[in-house]
Amino acid sequence: MFELIQVDDCDLICYDNGDIWRWNLRQKKWTKIVSKKKGYWQININKKNYLNHRIIANAFLGLDLNSELIVDHINHDIHNNSVENLRCITIQQNSFNTNAKGYTKYSYIKKDETESIYWVIQIGINGKMIQKRVKTEQEAIDSYLELKRIYHIIV
């Protein structure tokens, strides 16, 4: 499936698999946009850079290119710009979208030279960091997931 759209007076064909083709005025033919960049793929139109995934979201998801919404790659592969892998979300929603564990292992040596191990859970809530200390990694995992379920409510 494809959509024909116009960005800054430039005709583009956007395919639901994430491919973008543009009309080349000099060659009088459609050319595929190919990016070799390691980061987010971009297209330059009239001396302005546009992110490919935002153009695809504009064509298929109705995103205004000037919107403050974020286009999220659901599977975290920034080069997979297929429509099924994109969603428009708020900055708050994107901040919850992390691969971080949310907990860290700490240890220290007591005066009697034995090692003490504990786990610290950390989660951001309304701009503040909440920390909780537990004894085992499984407690850390369970507590972190419970805190995320309670506090990271997408509004």
d(C-alpha 148, C-alpha 143), whole Å: 9
Q: In the predicted model, what is the mean pLDDT of the chain?
A: 87
pLDDT in tens, 47-72: 999 999 999 999 999 999 999 999 99
Q: Are 132 and 121 in contact (CB under 8 A)?
A: yes
Q: Which two tokens stand for residue 67?
A: 């919107």
pLDDT at 83: 97
- DSSP code, position 55: H
By the 10 Å C-beta count (0-12 exposed, 13-18 middle, 19+ buried), 38 is classed as: exposed
Decide: pTM greater than 0.75: no
Per residue in 85-100, pLDDT (tens digit) is 999 998 877 776 655 5
In the chain, the percentage of residues whose pLDDT exceeds 90 is 48
The answer to whether residue 30 scores a pLDDT higher than 60 is: yes
**DSSP code of residue 83:** G
Identify the CA nearest to 96 among candidates 67, 66, 63, 72: 72
Please give the domain boundaries of the chain with CATH numbers for all domains: 2-95 (3.90.75.20), 98-151 (no CATH)
Residue 101 has pLDDT above 70, yes or no: no
